[in-house]
Amino acid sequence: MKDELANDLRAAREVMGWTQAELAQEVGVSRKTINTVENGVFVPSTPLALKLARSLNRTVESLFWLKDQDEDVAS
Amino acid sequence: MWISARIRNGPPEVLADRIMRGRLRSLYVALPVYALMVAAISFDMSLAEAGGWDTGLAWFSVTIVLASLLVRDPSARRVSPEVGRFLNDDLTRAHRASAQQTGFWVAVVLGTGLCLLGWMVAIDARQIAFMVVSGAVGAALFRFLLLERRALAA
C-alpha cells in the first residue's frame, strides 16, 4: 500500500493570516513549493517540514500525517 | 536572462518568481528549436551529408547549455545568493532529480534499442551517440518543463 501524506498547512497558514508568498518568505522557499505542499503534490523533506511547523507554531505531527491514520481514527 | 534594475531591486522571492516564470517561457521556445535542430542534423546524417565541425559544435554548445538547466539555474549566479536560494529550493531540486531520471531511462531505452537495430542494419556510432544524447536531454527538459509548469500554474 502506498503511503499518502495529508496536511493541514493551508488552514494553519490562514490562521496566521499569511499568504503563500509570506509563508514561503518566512521559510525560505519559493511560493510554488508552498503551493505544491498544500495541494499534496510535493512531499516536503524533513528539514522543510520542521521549518514549516516552527514558522506556524505547530508540531510536525499536527501539520502532516499519513492518510491511513485517518481511517484508524474513524474506525 | 536579462533582469531589469527595477526587478533586481525588488524582494528576493518576487525576483525569484519572475526568473522562474522567465525560465519556463524560455523553455517553451528552446525545446521546439532544439527539436528542430536535432531533426535537421538527423536528416543530414541520414543522407550521409552531415555538416562540418561547426554543425557539431553548435549542437554540442546548445546541448550543454540546455543540460546545465538540469543541474543548477545559471541565472542564480547572476543575482544575489538570497534569490539563488529561492531558485534552487527543495521543489526545484526534486523536479531536476525527476527530470534527470526521465533522461536516464530515455537514454537506456534509446541506447539499447539502437544497439539492437545495429545488429540488423549498419548504424554510424556517431549517429547513435547523437540520438541518445539528444533524446535524453530533450526528454529530461520536457519533463522539467511539465513539472515546473504544474507547480507555477496555481
CATH code: domain of residue A59? 1.10.260.40
SS3 B89: coil
Q: Is residue A75 in a domain?
A: no
Answer whether residue A74 is part of any domain. no
Count interface pairs A-B at CB distance under 8 A. 48
Tell me the pLDDT tens digit for each residue of B70-113.
Answer: 887 766 666 777 788 888 888 999 999 999 999 999 999 999 99
Q: Look at residue A1 in the predicted model and tell me its pLDDT.
A: 55
Rounded CA gap, A37 and A23, in Å? Answer: 12
Q: Write the pLDDT tens digit of every residue in A30-66.
A: 889 999 999 988 999 999 999 999 999 999 999 999 9
Contacts of B13 in chain A (CB under 8 A): 21, 24-25, 30-31
Q: What angle do CA B133, B134, B135 make, to 5 degrees?
A: 90
Structural domain contains residue A40: yes
Q: Do B89 and A39 touch (CB under 8 A)?
A: no
So what's the pLDDT on residue B46? 64
What is the ipTM for the molecules in this complex? 0.76
Phi, psi of B137 (to 5 degrees): -65, -45
* Contact between chains at A30 and B86 (C-beta distance less than 8 A): yes
Percent with pLDDT over 70 in chain B = 84
Mean pLDDT over each residue of chain B, to the nearest integer: 84
The helix (H) or strand (E) run that includes residue A6 is strand A5-7
Residue B26 contacts by C-beta under 8 Å, 6 or more apart in sequence? B1
Amino acid at A21: A
- B4 by DSSP, 3-state: which? coil
User: Which residues are paired to A64 by β-bridges?
Assistant: A7
Give the contacts of A9 (CB within 8 A, at least 6 positions apart). Answer: A34, A37, A38, A52, A56, A63
Residue A10 in domain: yes
Full pLDDT tens readout for chain B, 154 residues: 445 544 556 777 788 888 888 888 989 999 999 999 998 888 776 655 556 778 888 889 999 999 988 887 766 666 777 788 888 888 999 999 999 999 999 999 999 999 999 899 888 888 899 999 999 999 999 999 999 998 888 6
What mean pLDDT comes out for the span A12-29?
A: 91
Total domains in the fold of chain A = 1
Better-predicted residue by pLDDT, B136 or A69:
B136
Question: What pairs with residue A66 in β-bridges?
Answer: A5
Mean pLDDT score of chain A, rounded to an integer? 87
- B 70-99 near A (Cβ less than 8 A): 85-87, 89-92, 94
Q: What local confidence, expressed as pLDDT, does residue B110 receive?
A: 95
Burial class (CB in 10 A: 0-12, 13-18, 19+), A57: exposed
Domain boundaries, chain B: 11-153
The answer to whether residue A24 sits within a structural domain is yes
Full residue range of the structural domain in which residue A61 is found: 5-66
> What is the pLDDT, as a whole number, of residue B7?
53
Q: Is A30 within 8 Å of B20 when comparing Cβ atoms? A: yes
What is the per-residue pLDDT for A68?
76
Q: Which is nearest to B7 in space by CA: B70, B61, B79, B85?
A: B79
In the numeric block, the cell 538540469 is attached to B70
Q: CB-CB: which of A25, A31, A44 is closest to B90?
A: A44
Q: Which residue of B has its CA nearest to A49?
A: B90
